Amino acid sequence: MTDVLESEGVRHDPTLANLDASVSFVQRAMVVMDHTLTFPEKIQEQVSKGLAVMLQTKSITAENVDAVAALPDRSRIILITDDIEPPLLEQGHLSRMVQMAINAGMPPLEALAAATVRPARHLGLRDLGAIAPGYHADFMVMDDLTTYPPGEVFVQGHLAATNGNIIASDCPELPPLPEYPAVPGSLTIEDFRLVVSEDPPEEVIFNAAALQNDRNSLTILEKVQIVIDSGYAVFSEGDDLVLTAIFARNGSSHMVGVLKGTGLTGGAFASSLSHDSHNLLVVGRDVQSMHRAAQAVYDMGGGVAVGHREEVVASLPLPYFGLLSDEAVPQVARDLSAIEDRLRASGMRHQRPFLLLSVIGLSVSPYVKFTDKGIVDTERRCLLPAWEKASIS
């Protein structure tokens, strides 16, 4: 490990002026990082421009590992998890990334450095990331560098886990639940009307976000014609369209648009966890199911729910700010798996249904996404109207 540390240029500097300076350093460091999907040519280009290349699950491939091995300076190659749902968390966190990298051909010490000392150094965490004088005594005891979980895990010199099991320790009490709602309430069926006007047209051309595959959240703009009845969408079998509604957390604004390519044939999904703004997101084929799912999220004080007509068929409470659970990871994993199972049973084809839907409102994700203010063209950085005209010429 000494050779790896020396190659990373580890030097202990115990001084950090104050927390503000630390936060400012991290903010500046994040500007020169890229965690998006990558490939060998992109890795070479970004390293040449001084960026840190962050490899998450979808980018840990044999081709990328070979490209990393060919670099004369690998100090800015970092392993990260990005978003990781509880069912995957049960399989490991950064340890899972390290094992995946090793399985793809990365030397074990190289993978460990990419998950420890490199990110710590890049983020200015000068007392983390290495086993050396002046550093926190965070380390693992292992019989084999390629096998997880480790035999023992120490945090600041104290034994924290053995053979994958956490050792109980004194933990602070959870704060009381927030008194203010994490999601808007008092929604009605009318809040899910696609066309709001006194005399809505019978057919409308909509700006839809169309999914491009079942592996990521890439969407493009597509024009679709939809039959309208009193302002509500009338979908037909096989059109592969769903309504997508986003309500601001404080209830100040909302929009309803059209998403294509999910495969969903019935029911609705609602979530107060919706990157990055975490507004209330509701996706569904019919407004009754959408209203029921949204109401379930409100009743839980935040969370995720799947509704089918008047029934809630799966749910996950997130009572802390609509984002966090106070249950153990295995229970959260079971609840989230039940939600994904219901979505798949209703036709969703995506490999990771929850992750896909949670980023439909991510207004920086290419190329077309939804916000409470309207549809966003993320390349041109402009808002688009939900619909443009009443008929196709």
Domain ranges of the chain: 2-135, 189-389
**Single pTM value for the model:** 0.84
pLDDT of 248 over the 80 cut: yes
pLDDT at 156: 92
pLDDT exceeds cutoff 90 at 62: yes
CA–CA dist 266, 232 (Å, integer) = 16
Higher pLDDT, 64 or 215: 64
Evaluate if residue 6 carries a pLDDT over 60: no
Q: Averaged over 362-375, what is the pLDDT?
A: 93
Average pLDDT over residues 70-83: 93
Please tell me the distance from the alpha carbon of residue 378 to that of residue 293, in angstroms, as a whole number: 28
Q: Give tens-digit pLDDT for 265-297.
A: 999 999 999 999 999 999 999 999 999 999 999
Question: Which segments of the chain are extended strands (E)?
Answer: 33-34, 52-55, 77-79, 139-141, 152-155, 158-162, 165-166, 203-211, 219-229, 232-234, 241-247, 254-260, 268-271, 280-284, 303-308, 311-317, 368-371, 374-377, 382-384, 387-389
| pLDDT top residue among 242 and 168 | 242
* Averaged confidence pLDDT in the chain: 89
pLDDT of residue 30: 53
Q: Assess whether pLDDT exceeds 80 at residue 7.
A: no
In the predicted model, what is the mean pLDDT of residues 93-103? 95
Q: Which residue has the higher pLDDT, 27 or 116?
A: 116
Residue 250: C-alpha distances to residues 103, 179, 181, 272, 373 (Å): 46, 14, 9, 12, 13
Can you tell me the distance from the alpha carbon of 283 to that of 246, in angstroms, rounded to the nearest whole number? Answer: 9
Task: Name the band, by pLDDT with cuts 50, 70 and 90, for residue 174.
Answer: confident
Does domain 2-135 fall under CATH 3.20.20.140? My reply is yes
Identify the three-state secondary structure at position 203: strand
Q: What percent of the chain has pLDDT over 70?
A: 91
- Whether residue 123 contacts residue 26, with contact meaning beta carbons closer than 8 Å, is answered with yes
Q: What is the pLDDT of residue 23?
A: 47
Asked if pLDDT for residue 41 goes beyond 50, the answer is yes
pLDDT at 9 over 50: no
- The residue-averaged pLDDT of 329-336 equals 96
Least confidently predicted of 25-34, 139-148, 162-171, 323-332? 25-34
